[in-house]
Amino acid sequence: MCHFAKFRPIAITSHKNRQFVRKTLLMPTDLVVATPAGLLDYIKNKHISLSETRYLVIDEADTMFCKGFDKDVTSIIKQIKASNVTQNNRPYQIIVVTATLPKTVNELLSKELPFMKRITSYSLHKSLPNLSHNFIDLKIFNYNKYEATIQTLKAHSESASTMIFCNKKKTAEHLEKYLYSKNFPAIGLYGDIDDRTTKLESFRNQESHAKILVCTDIASRGVDTTFVNHVILFDFPTTIVDFLHRVGRTARAGKRGKATYFVTKKDRQLAERIKRNIRDKRVLS
């Protein structure tokens, strides 16, 4: 695409080969795709200047403006604003994209970008229309999540691609091994795991024997999952935002999907609130 569009891009992360990046940046660059920390590092070392930046796109803003990224992102925004002043009000545009809009993020955006025009989907924070929900009170399984998982998988189509979300890496590791021991081949995707791309490709491959992806929230954003039929929340999330991102991995692009939620005693209050809002077709909040 870059060849036909005649522009030169570069990707920058904290783990990218620094010598390669510095060498590439010596040539004119049209597009930089970067993590906030990675970009600021190269700005600090004067390998990149934002003085000629015309467009800043912040994707996954509900994550970028929280979870430790907010200071880095606001620093980048302020540098572009400052460059605009020194460049005699040179025009620039900041585009913010997000699937959810938590109150804290909304307040931060209002503070940093008070004149921002907002385009909001009618379906923001609402359940997907093609998604069926199944809330399972684990009391019927004596609160045994592993047994509940096996029975849920047996009841679902063997050919279906299923994502199972856990809150912690250790839980995901243990569940992956447990499923293998029960003849349910699974692929694990969680923090600091090697070969993420290879594992995702293996899960995506329709000929693969492993139709189950056991994961943490690392797989709830920025991953192509249009082929996923079923999402299981092994651990119930603690926030509406995480809930929306997880269940949003299925029923995408007009396709139908199913989501199954394991509910323990401590999850009941949030689960009941979500269930009522889904039933009444209200905003999940």
Question: 219 and 90 in one domain?
Answer: no
The SS3 call for residue 214 is strand
Give the per-residue pLDDT at 193.
67
The range of the structural domain enclosing residue 11 comes to: 2-112
Last residue of a domain, which of 81, 112, 143?
Answer: 112
Question: 201 and 145 in one domain?
Answer: yes
Residue 126 lies in a domain: no
Cα 16 to Cα 196, 200, 282, distances in angstroms:
15, 20, 43
Per-residue pLDDT of the chain (285 residues; tens, 9 = 90+): 777 888 899 999 877 788 889 998 888 899 999 999 999 999 999 999 998 899 999 999 988 988 778 999 999 999 998 887 666 677 899 999 998 988 889 999 999 999 999 998 888 888 888 999 999 999 999 999 999 999 999 998 777 899 999 999 999 999 999 999 999 999 999 976 667 788 888 999 877 788 999 999 999 988 889 999 999 999 999 988 899 999 999 999 889 999 999 999 999 999 999 999 999 988 887
What residues form DSSP beta bridges with 187? Answer: 213
pTM to 2 decimals? 0.86
Contact 126, 243 (CB under 8 A): no
Pairing mode of beta strands 93-96, 55-58: parallel
DSSP 33: E
Residue 223 lies in a domain: yes
Q: CA 65, CA 80: separation in Å to the nearest integer?
A: 17
Residue 158 lies in a domain: yes
Which residues lie below 8 Å from residue 232, measured CB to CB, with a gap of 6+?
149, 152, 162, 163, 164, 165, 259, 260, 261, 262
**Is the CA virtual torsion 42, 7, 11, 118 positive or negative?**
positive
Contact 215, 193 (CB under 8 A): no
CATH code, domain with 69: 3.40.50.300
Question: 216 and 142 in one domain?
Answer: yes
Give the per-residue pLDDT at 194.
67
Report which residue type is found at 47: H
